[in-house]
Amino acid sequence: MTLASPSDFEDNLQPQGWLRYFSFSLDHKVIGLQYLICGFIFYLVGGALAGIIRTELWSPMSDFVSRETYNETLTLHGTIMIFLWIVPVVNGAFGNYLIPFYVGARDMAFPRLNAVAFWLIPPAGILLISSYFIAGAAAQSGWTAYPPLSLTTPAAGQVVWILSVLLLGGSSIFGGINFIATILKLRRPGLKLMMLPLYCWAMLGTSVLVVLSTPVLAGTLILLSFDIIAHTGFFNPTMGGNVVVYQHLFWFYSHPAVYIMVLPAFGLVSEILPIHARKPLFGYTTMVYSIMAIVFLGLIVWAHHMFTSGTPPWMRLFFTIATSFIAVPTGIKFFNWLATLWGGKIALNSAMLFSCAFIVNFVFGGITGVALAQVPFDIHVHDTYFVVGHFHYIVYGGTVFVIFGSLYHWYPKFTGRLLNEDLGRLHFLLTFVGFNLCFAPQHWLGLNGMPRRVAEYDPAFTTLNQLSSVGALLMAISTLPLLINVVVTAINGKKAGDNPWNALTPEWLTSSPPPVENWHGEAPLVTEPYGYGQHLEAKA
Amino acid sequence: MPIRTVLAVFTATTVLVITGLWVGNNVNLLPPGASSNASTYDELFKVLFSIGTVLFLGIVVLLIYSMIRFRRRSGDMSDGLAIEGNLPLEIVWTAIPAVVVLFVGLYSYDIYERMGGMATLNDHMAMDHGAMQQVSVKEGDTAGRVWGGIGVSGMEAAPGGPVLPVEVTAMQFAFIFHYPGSDITTGELHVPTGQQIELHMEARDVIHAFWVPQFRLKQDIIPGQPTVLSFTATRAGTYPIICAELCGPYHGGMRSNVVVQEPEAYDNWLQQNTPNSTNT
Ligand code: HEM
Ligand SMILES: [Cu+2]
Ligand SMILES: [Cu+2]
């Protein structure tokens, strides 16, 4: 098949230039960036809410916002960060942008479904946030929405919350189906599964989790909304309902959800490290199998969130063992990454700094995770700031660090320009210091008696809470160099050329930014996306 | 492998393990314990903290070492070595976490059993063979429907005498304690040292949780599903009881105290507070 020049295609598509990003574009690259920008805006909103939380916690009294507002704030903060920032960006943004390149396709399998999946997100997000401004109306029962609390707090806000999460879950399922179809069915001839860049495997695993577990959440929330609106009694103990069943159903989705947030990040790091260390990804095959193991184990560990919920001992033991074993495939991945760096020619640029810091942070969060998996340990720290520390090390220190690293790495692909390295390092330094200052002390707070989701606390904990708040302030400041960098370099940044990193993965084998249908001719067949070292001649 | 490398690796590992053990045993992150449970818990904590420190430091040192030693010198545009994997090595580092996790799992099972966590298992199994549903319907009260907690009945009583039952009712935003033996109702829990206490807990409205950090114990209090938690306090003093499950606007203020007293002081308190009519 011969291809017309890219400009011919552009003529056929809807709006040009920046207007594209506000259109119902079917181009996977446009959709990917729509996810990214939209997600980043929600990240700023969620961050502002975190600012309210940390300001309230500056002093031991509840004196900054009302107690109801505080609970609304923490509920919206969690929901926005998970469903509107991390999941859409680490899956939707990078997945849509990169997967078609990696499989050698010109777009995703179902471009229209893809656009629908994205366009569900802004209305769902706006709906959710707007409920915050109707006094006393936003959901107040945490991102977990446990009944009976979620049945007794103001109904309007809880129903809006459910509706919004259902829309976002729908978007996620559409995306998941699309990724599975694209990876399995749209590979260019000759491209075998075991030749795919690792991010494809991560997205395949993630999408399987999305498709298997999100419908369970949807069903659960629909029943919860019946309880609220129609006064049914599925989860209402005064009508014979069972509140613990809700927790099982909720975590049947929400534990896999933590892997939906982190497996893609594992995939992205596996792309970044080999390129900037100039070495093949160490242990490709074990990496693939460990992703599969994580997907399987991730589905059978949910009740580790319920060790104090009245679970019988056999259940506590089963879930302790299953959860602990996730550390095995996860450990393999970390050792493989370290081995990838060993003996390399490591460029310590912003993309790498964020990726290496991800390793540090995630190992820390993984270790506290294995500790939390032990029932006798968890019984003390469950629902305390220790858990808050744990999951921020994982979700922020892990996934968000990877998102930032990926931004530095792929920005030249998106725009043809390089982000400024000095601003990038400043951004890294502020983020790394602020992050650790904010979340490390929380482990101590939890161990010593500070429960989570409180607006007031024992005055003995004031100093550490203030330290944590200072860290949060640094994190807020750290977004400034990032924002300046992105805006300024988009206009007059250094030109990157098509392949500034001398990379071998397929997305770099076309122009930057790429033409509308990705390739100027046939898609190249990349059989060794990590063939550094032995293929020096091939790149010349 | 050259002998120098072997020696270096050996020395580094030894230093690491010693550091980990030292940190685990000397850095105290927990509040002073006040129940028989706490010392067992602290033992587990030390072990986990030591292992965690060794693993964390080991990986971070390795990472930083690589970042420095293998950094790209300016002008060097060449690639690193084309090593794509190494099966024996990969097997080694599958084995490391597997062994660690296996050890941690077995050890924490042992700890859990010593805390009395498995007591209900036996209970439960016994009931499974009978007609569990009937039990839960007939007895109506707690037996058969009680899940969870730790050290639940079935354990032989602690040396301090028979088990002391206390009924706990949690509601937005308070705990109420009732002593069935002497018909005392109070907002503050009083318990003697050395006697096993058994809390029978029920919630009026939403889910709450009973947590005493100094006891290292926590149990949700669930509407529609009574739970039991049992412990033996060991050190006199006043410790906070904290609600650990989001239960509404005043969740952060839902606190009380547990006053642990020597048996004589506790008996005094009991005498003074027992309503006259039921005073025996
Ligand atoms: C080695 C791997 C991990 C283990 C063993 C582990 C274990 C646990 C356990 C046992 C809990 C429950 C603690 C409690 O509430 O008492 C927990 C909470 C949590 N974990 Fe992890 N975890 C791991 C990795 C992750 C990852 C990869 C993520 C996300 C990307 C994550 C996110 C969370 C979140 C969000 C919570 C708190 C949920 C809530 O209560 O709101 N964890 N983890
Ligand atoms: Cu989990
Ligand atoms: Cu509470």
Locate A94 and state its tokens: 């990078």
> What 3-state class would DSSP assign to B176?
strand
For chain B, the domains span 3-68+87-114, 127-273
Q: Is A318 left (phi over 0), alpha (psi -120 to 50) or beta?
A: alpha
| Residue B142 Cα, gap to closest chain A Cα (Å) | 13
Facing residue for B253 by CB, picked from A148, A453, A456: A456
Instruction: Enumerate residues 111 to 140 of chain B having a beta carbon within 8 A of any beta carbon in chain A.
Output: 111-112, 115, 117-118, 120-121, 124
Which residues, 6+ apart, have CB-to-CB distance to A137 below 8 Å? A131, A154, A156, A157, A160
B237 DSSP β-pair partners: B260
Identify the nearest ligand to the CA of A256 by its number: 2
B190 DSSP β-pair partners: B259
Whether the ω angle into residue A319 lies within 30 degrees of 0, i.e. cis, is no
* Amino acid occupying residue A228: I
Dmax (CA) for chain B in angstroms is 93
For chain A, the domains span 26-508
For residue B233, give the DSSP letter: B
Instruction: Enumerate residues 323 to 342 of chain A having a beta carbon within 8 A of any beta carbon in chain B.
Output: 324-325, 327-328, 330-332, 334-336, 338-339, 341-342
Contact B86, A286 (CB under 8 A): no
Q: Which of A111, A101, A399 is nearest to A260 (CA)?
A: A399
Pairwise CB contact (< 8 Å): A377 & B245? no
Facing residue for A345 by CB, picked from B72, B96, B120: B72
| Pairing verdict, β B237-243 and B217-221 | unpaired
Pairwise CB contact (< 8 Å): A328 & B71? no
Pairwise CB contact (< 8 Å): B252 & A62? yes
Burial readout B117-155 (b: 16 or more C-beta within 10 A, e: otherwise): bbbbbebbeebeeeeeeeebeeeeebebbbbbbbbbbeb
Radius of gyration of chain B (CA): 26
Pairwise CB contact (< 8 Å): A453 & B56? no
> What 3-state class would DSSP assign to A397?
helix
The predicted model scores a pTM of 0.92
Q: What is the third-level CATH fold of A26-508?
A: Cytochrome C Oxidase; Chain A (1.20.210)
Residue nearest (by alpha carbon) to ligand 1 atom 12: A305
- For residues A94 and A265, give the distance between their C-alpha atoms in angstroms, rounded to a whole number: 10
| Pairing verdict, β B255-261 and B217-221 | unpaired
For the domain spanning B127-273, the CATH number is 2.60.40.420
* Amino acid occupying residue A412: P
Of chain A, the end-to-end C-alpha distance in Å amounts to 28
Could you read off the pLDDT tens digit of each residue along chain A, which spans 540 residues? 344 344 444 444 555 677 777 788 889 999 999 999 999 999 999 999 999 999 999 999 999 999 999 999 999 999 999 999 999 999 999 999 999 999 999 999 999 999 999 999 999 999 999 998 876 679 999 999 999 999 999 999 999 999 999 999 999 999 999 999 999 999 999 999 999 999 999 999 999 999 999 999 999 999 999 999 999 999 999 998 999 999 999 999 999 999 999 999 999 999 999 999 999 999 999 999 999 999 999 999 999 999 998 888 888 888 999 999 999 999 999 999 999 999 999 999 999 999 999 999 999 999 999 999 999 999 999 999 999 999 999 999 999 999 999 999 999 999 999 999 999 999 999 999 999 999 999 999 999 999 999 999 999 999 999 999 999 999 999 999 999 999 999 888 899 889 999 999 999 999 989 998 999 888 999 999 998 987 544 443
Q: Is A145 left (phi over 0), alpha (psi -120 to 50) or beta?
A: left
| Residue A480 Cα, gap to closest chain B Cα (Å) | 27
The response to whether residue A373 sits with its C-beta less than 6 Å from ligand 1 reads yes
Given CA atoms A117, A395, A220, B247 in this order, what sign does their dihedral have? negative
